[in-house]
Amino acid sequence: MIKVITYGTFDLFHEGHYNILKKAKEQGDYLIVGVTSENYDKTRGKLNVKQSLIERIENVKKSGFADKIIVEEYIGQKIEDIKKFKVDKFVIGSDWLGKFDYLKEYCEVIYVERTKGISSTQLRNKERGILKLGCVGAGRIARRMCKESKYVSGINFDYVYGRNEEKIKEFTNKYDLNFYSTDYNEFLKEVDAVYIATPHLTHYEFAKKALEKGKHVLCEKPLCLEKAKAEELYRIAKERKLVLYEAIKTAYSPAFIRLISLAKSGVIGEIKDVDATFTKLMTDYSLREFDKNQAGGSVTELSTYPLIAIIKLLGYKYEDVEFVSYYGDKDVDLYTKIILKYPNSIATAQVGLGVKREGELIISGTKGYIIVPAPWWKTEYFEIRFENPNDTEKYFYKFEEDGLRYELSEFLNSIVNHTSNIHIKEEESIAISEIIEKFRKLRL
């Protein structure tokens, strides 16, 4: 008996899927079909899979070609499956030509012609349309988002606004965009949603105007530097039934989401302390990060990361907050320790542009603790540790490239499905703005 194996997501099962399975079955007597799990899809950058694993498995069953269906859950599983099931042939679509040649050591690898003109991505885009997303600003983070947007289907990231025409024209040419403008009103007419990637002090005005013009908003952190302004933006978004997201990329990454769920499940008992650090040494003092007039400093630049971890774990209803800072000879804080007090727990956040410290996250509980090594804000690996070292549990998840694709995917899904942000709630975002405002009032 000749055994054949093939793999796929099989989302929105279509003619192309049917043909691949048919051709795979024709290669032998027994066909094994691997269907990717949700977590595995996320780790390899497929963020817009529409159907659940159960639905996709059922689609494969209905085709009538599969003799056995398995779930693909991790990188490297193909080799193990081929050996385990004594597979003779591996079959995959020709769009993957050469990608799986490494499997020739274990079985015959066959690339069959794929059905042209149809794909799950095309069907998803046809069903919900393409979101026209425009970028406000053309700086460092905007350039990274432009690259990351290629991994999220259903988005046309083809528009940019900026005040410096030479700069945005260069940005447009480099990333092959179709439209740029130095007129914000003209820019807003062209898009369905905006990604705001400008300096902190401009976030509120750009976001407010976009919302008032009926555009969804994904805004870089911090959303606002004042609590009242953050509250106003969320109020406008709610009144106009628009999506407003704060772009703290860590909050949307698979490993961080899993980390928070585990920590709050009681596996380490009651959480009594959270300690989070994010520091990066910067020596070019001409940058806006060191300019008081541009809201520079460690807290405004970096605190959203440790604060979102603390607030997700302990809540946004803290009782008191204290700040201890080092300024050196600068007008902005080069290092700050933020101490948040809760009724039954405490948290500390360390941020620095001029002081370096180990960038780890430690969550302490009454039964054990969780340690996430640096850089924890790009969460990939963490350990749950107990009094007995033999009970340590280790977890690993892939964090793709810069991680911006995760927040962009969730932003798109909220718009399409008319849902709220489940990863950063309105109250959590407002609490971060409030803490930053309290710190800035100490020096203003």
pLDDT in tens, 399-423: 888 889 999 989 998 998 889 999 9
Phi, psi of 442 (to 5 degrees): -70, -25
DSSP state of 201: G
Q: Can you tell me the mean pLDDT for 101-107?
A: 95
When the pLDDT of each residue in the chain is averaged and rounded to a whole number, the result is 92
pLDDT of residue 76: 86
H-state helical runs in 268-394: 298-302, 304-314
DSSP state of 92: E
Rounded distance between C-alpha atoms, residue 409 and residue 269, angstroms: 33
Q: pLDDT category, 118, cuts 50, 70, 90?
A: low
For domain 254-398, the CATH superfamily is Dihydrodipicolinate Reductase; domain 2 (3.30.360.10)
The percentage of the chain sitting over the pLDDT mark of 90, rounded to a whole number, equals 77
The percentage of the chain sitting over the pLDDT mark of 70, rounded to a whole number, equals 95
pLDDT of residue 335: 98
pLDDT of residue 98: 92
Question: Domain 3-120 maps to which CATH number in 3.40.50.620, 3.40.50.720, 3.30.300.100, 3.30.590.10?
Answer: 3.40.50.620
pTM above 0.85, yes or no: no
Residue 222 in this model has a pLDDT that exceeds 70: yes
**Where, residue-wise, is CATH 3.40.50.720 in the chain?**
122-248
Q: Can you tell me the mean pLDDT for 378-394?
A: 95
Residue 123 in this model has a pLDDT that exceeds 50: no
In 227-360 the beta strands, taken as DSSP E runs, fall at 244-247, 271-279, 320-326, 335-341, 346-352
Rounded distance between C-alpha atoms, residue 125 and residue 119, angstroms: 10
| 131-136/346-352 β-pairing | unpaired
Residue 121 in this model has a pLDDT that exceeds 70: no
pLDDT in tens, 49-76: 778 899 999 999 999 999 999 999 888 8
**Where, residue-wise, is CATH 3.40.50.620 in the chain?**
3-120
Closest C-alpha to 404, from 185, 250, 190, 183: 250
Closest C-alpha to 338, from 346, 352, 348: 348
**Where, residue-wise, is CATH 3.30.360.10 in the chain?**
254-398
Q: pLDDT category, 22, cuts 50, 70, 90?
A: very high
Q: Can you tell me the mean pLDDT for 83-111?
A: 94
pLDDT in tens, 161-215: 999 999 999 999 988 898 999 999 999 999 999 999 999 999 999 999 999 999 9
pLDDT of residue 299: 98
pLDDT of residue 52: 86
Question: Domain 122-248 maps to which CATH number in 3.30.499.10, 3.40.462.10, 3.40.50.11540, 3.40.50.720?
Answer: 3.40.50.720
pLDDT in tens, 315-330: 999 999 999 999 988 8
Residue 281 in this model has a pLDDT that exceeds 60: yes
Q: Can you tell me the mean pLDDT for 340-363?
A: 97
Q: Can you tell me the mean pLDDT for 106-135?
A: 73
Dihedral sign for Cα atoms in the order 12, 14, 20, 24:
positive
pLDDT of residue 117: 52
| 320-326/335-341 β-pairing | antiparallel
